[in-house]
Structures are given as C-alpha cells and as structure tokens.
Structure 1
C-alpha cells in the first residue's frame, strides 16, 4: 500500500509538471518575443536617427579615436628628450573657447625668433585635440624650433569650412604676435597628420593659389613667401577617392565627412570639391615632406597620388614611403608610434627635411 501510494504520488507530480510545461514554455517565448521586439525597436530608432543626423555615428567614431589618440600620445611621451623648453599652453588666438586655442613650445635657450612649425592635429575632422600632438611638438622643439599645436572646431559641432577660417585666424595671430611667441614669421612650416594633413595642405594651397583663395572666399593671413615648407603625414587630399571606399572604413569616413561638412552630399558639392587639394595645388605649393605607412590604405589612395601630383607640377617633394610587402605593416599615423624603428626613421627624415629648408640662428 505504501509503495502504491508513492507510485501514485510520483505519477501525479509528473502529471502536474507536464501540465506546467506548456505554460512555462509560453512564458519563455513571450519574454523572448518582448526582448526581440525591444531590440528591433531600438535598432529601428538608431537607424532612423542615423539616417537623419550624423551625431550617433560621429560620437562612436570620436570615442574610438579619442582612446587611440590618448594611447599614442602616451607612447610618444616616453620619447620626449630631456630638454629645457618654454611652454605656453592654451593661448587663445580667437574668442571661441578651447576650440580656438594653441600650445606653443620653444627651447628655453632661445634668444630670438626661431623657424616655426604650425601643426594641425588629425582625428577624421570630428575628433582629436592639440594635446594629442603636444609630445611630438616637444620632440621637434628640442631640435631648435618653435612648435605650435593648433585646435579648431570639430564636426558636427561646427561645419566646414569653419575650421579652415579658424586656422587662418590662428596663422594671423601667430604672425601678429610673432615676437612674443618666439616665431620667425619669415620661416613658417605648415604641418599636419591625417585630417590635419588635409587641412595643412588646404592652408598651403590657399596661401599659394590666389584662384583657390578666391573660390574659398578667404583672404590668407600669411603670404606665400612666409611659408617655407609643408609636412604632410597620412593625409587625405582627394575626397572623390574617399567617397568610393566601402566596408567599415568607408562607413567611418563617410560618417565623419557628413558630420564635418554638415551634408550627406559632401562628395557631390563644394565641400568635397574644395577639400580635394590634389586638384587645386599649383607649382607654387611649398616644398613638401609627405609620408604614409604601407599598411594604411590612405597611403596608396591619397598620399602617393598627392606626391605624384606635386612632382608633376615641379614642386620639390621629399617622400617617406615603404614597399608594399614591408614588414611590419605600418598603420595609419605610424609616424607617432615611436616605439617602432620605422617611426624613428620617419622622425629623423622629418628633422633632416626641416633642417634643409629652414635657417636657425
């Protein structure tokens, strides 16, 4: 009797579990459907917002670039020589807050004005800051130069050509306050990396091509004889070629340009056209150092074609490129990764180029 009762209990319990299974499965499926619905809804909202504004994509890209920029600056910091420098940080060249400030470095031993390198930082036009290149400015200043790292308004907080106008203002301020800043205004080198390389090439084109300055409706703050050279690292000079990119890289550049230009049609209108300095440079463009890593697609798509174009025009060009199979593959902005011997090679070649094209007191 006890055994029978036990068997009946087990049978009844099993029956109860069997009755509950469909209910539990239904509840689980209901929760799954709710979760899927939420995910789909969020994805749709993000897609809709992303189709209307570049802000979400730009902020994601900015976050990634900021992390990388901070890490690269820390890597460079280890290679700053133990030299005595005078540093004047956050100099306001206009009245738009941190966007219009610059950092100035000069050897403490300087007794007069020095040839000056004005560096425009990169970051896909939507990220980065002067602090990212300050260690590199200290390295070059220790070689006997005044070096200046310039901030400008990023997209999408400000739209093209606002940054161009700001950098022109910065050059005007540097020229006007040359004595106070330790600047020889007759020996200015315009320099930049990545998006900053594009901007440096754009400023040099403005200064050396009256026709281009007229198209841009900008009066250059410097005259052509004040700019003795340009240094262009891993830059962008042909926006039409950029627009042809696909995949994650294409998405990143197209999102960045939408945020910077303020329009999705940047590749078809004046933004892309006037930013494409490869189409506007003339034989009066300053003597140029140009470089890019062999593992960086922009080298093959942008830097080498720009160097070729300048050579065609008869501009004096110094290049630092590597063969395609070179190992290790050198990435975008390789020149700042000074733990790498190839970056040290590029740094020395840059220093040699500056020495050949400037005269120190």
Structure 2
C-alpha cells in the first residue's frame, strides 16, 4: 500500500479522535440504571475482537438487544468512542452490544464483515447468559458502520448473497435496522476516497465486485429501516438516494433529515450525547424500534 494512503489514514485518525474526544469531554463512563461489562472476547484477535455489553437494570424478562457497528471510514473507531452512545441506549431499556473490529489497513474487505459476523454469533451463543432477548434484536450502524449494517441485513435476508460470504444464520430474530449517515452505494463516483481505498482496494473491487455491490441483492425481505442523516452531512445524498431506493422496492422504512440553516447538523451528529437534536433523533429511532418489538 502506498505510503501516502497510510499517512492519510493516520491524519484522519488523529483528527477524528481529537474531535470525538472534544465532543465527549466530561461524560460519565458509569450511569444510573446500567450495568456495564467490558472487554469480552468474541474472536481470536486479542486486541480487536473485544466487545462491551451494557445492560439496563430495570427491565423484566429478556432484554431487547441492539447490536452496534461503529463508523470510522473502515480505518478508525473503537468501542470506547461509542460507549456514551451505548450507555444511553441501555438507559432507554435496550441491551447494547458495543464491539471493536479490526481496521484497515491491517485488513481489507470483507475481513471487517467477518468480525461483525463473529460478534453476532457471539450474541446468539451467549444471549441466555446475559438475559438477551433473541426474539427482539436490532442492528445499528453509522457511516462505514451503516454500510456494513446494510450489508449484513442483506446477508441475513438473501441466501444467495449470504453464500458469497460463507456465513451461517443464527437463531437471532432481527426486527429492524437503523442506518445513520450511512455510506451506501459504494460504486457511486467519489465514494472510494484515498482513505477508503485501504479497505476497498482496487483488487477487492475487481475480484469481489458482486459482494461490494450490496444494493443489487436487496430484496423484499430487507428489514424495516430507519434512515437518518443531517442537512450538513457530507454524504447526505447517500441517505436520500437509499430512501428512494427502498421506496421503489416498497420496503418499510422511515427517512429523517435533521438540522436546518439556523441549527445545522453534521455527519453522525446523533452520537453526541450533549445535543438536543441528537436526542430527538435517538428518540425517533427508539420509537421506530419499539414499533417492531415482538410481544
């Protein structure tokens, strides 16, 4: 891999972490009503195959469960960055599975998806141990994680596509998916930037074209979807296009764009636990999930 791509990734990581740390400064890592369990191993990589689990204490019976796929351009992000977002979901009454996964340039497509599949199987294998409701599971992804959430939903709901990855279904019953500032339509011009090309390399795009072209395999069984973006989201048009795509296929979904000229919002704004518009977005997603909860 060219050194300029490595340098671009290092610069991106440094800038993103500084921004995320500033956003989350002062937030508590322990919150009322939530039990957190840190650094659970779900796979062979001792550094990256780890997840945190946040459990609400005030829920009777099996706990409806959210499995998160974090964003970060396929080359940045950790569960520590998403802990405050996950703790908030646990305070809302959902178990929240908050994993790490390996990052580019150490891995290329579909190895991050392989980690997602590993931790989804971990949830299925350990649900009874932690009181998780296997009949009410929800998937959330933002940015690059949104692309992977879209892709994994397609894997779940299209056997032909699933066979391309060699994955097996679990007994988890996924009810809906939330795609937040999602990076859809990977072959659209401008989607594969220098940083992104560390994961979706030219060789990958040629040899695994069908796997990357997820939208070609979305069928009527795709999960009910909540699509969230913002007026100043730099990939806002991806979400707008995906709204139209699901509308044409008559797949149940909600599309929301937050922010306006007086109160603009940016990419993945809803992770910000200090923001009132982010709270509204999370309230809307929670209402959407609750609509699909099985009794």
Unpaired stretches in structure 1, ≥5 consecutive residues: 1-47
Q: Provide the rounded CA distance (Å) in 2 between the counterparts of 1:269 and 1:180.
A: 42
CA-to-partner distance for each residue in 1:178-225, whole Å, 9 max, x for gaps? 1112211121101111111111111111010112112x23223436x7
CA change 1:221–1:258 in 2 (3 A) is: same
| Residue of structure 1 in register with 2:132 after alignment | 183
Tell me whether 1:291 sits opposite 2:238 in the alignment.
Answer: no
The equivalent of 2:51 in structure 1 is 102
1:233 match: 180
The residue that corresponds to 1:38 in the other structure is: none
1:209 equivalent to 2:158? Answer yes
Normalising by structure 2, what TM-score?
A: 0.91
User: What is the CA–CA distance in structure 2 between the aligned matches of 1:228 and 1:175, rounded to whole Å?
Assistant: 15
> Would you say 1:112 and 2:61 are equivalent positions?
yes
Partner in structure 1 of residue 106 of structure 2: 157
Alpha-carbon contact 1:89-1:103 (below 8 Å) kept: yes
Q: Distance in 1 between matches of 2:82 and 2:285?
A: 15
Show the 5 A alignment for 1:122-201: 122-201=71-150
Contact 2:24 2:273 in 1 (8 A): no
Deviation at 1:342, TM superposition (A): 2.0
Distance 1:322 1:146 in 2: 26
Q: Which residue of 2 aligns with 1:310?
A: 246
Which residue does 1:19 correspond to in 2?
A: none
Provide the rounded CA distance (Å) in 2 between the counterparts of 1:202 and 1:221. Answer: 14
TM, length-normalised to structure 1? 0.75
Equivalent pair of 1:113/1:182 in contact (CA under 8 Å): yes
Equivalent-residue separation in structure 1 for 2:244 and 2:168 (angstroms): 26
Find out whether 1:332 has 2:267 as its counterpart: yes
Distance apart, 1:269 and its partner CA:
2.0
Report the RMSD for the aligned CA atoms in angstroms.
2.3
Distance 2:80 2:3 in 1: 32
CA distance in structure 2 between the aligned counterparts of 1:74 and 1:201, rounded to whole angstroms: 31
Q: Secondary structure at the match of 2:194?
A: helix
Match of residue 260 from structure 1: 199
Counterpart Cα distance in 1 of 2:25 and 2:227: 24
Partner Cα separation in structure 2 for residue 199 and residue 69 of structure 1? 21
Q: Which runs of 4+ in 1 moved over 6 A?
A: none
Q: Which has the larger radius of gyration?
A: 1
Equivalent residues in 2 for 1:23-102, closer than 5 Å: 49-50=3-4, 54-74=5-25, 77=27, 83-102=32-51
Structure 2 CA distance for aligned equivalents of residues 272 and 149 of structure 1: 29
Number of residues of Structure 1 aligned to a counterpart in Structure 2? 294
| C-alpha separation in 1, matches of 2:222 and 2:213 | 14
Gaps of 5+ in 2: none
Q: What's the CA shift for 1:278?
A: 2.8
Q: CA deviation at 1:81?
A: 9.7
Larger helix fraction of residues: 1
8 A contact 2:34–2:55 mirrored in 1: yes
Q: For each residue in 1:46-94, what CA deviation from the matched residue of structure 2 results, as whole angstroms up to 9, or x when unmatched?
A: xx742xxx3222111111122223233337x37x995321111111111
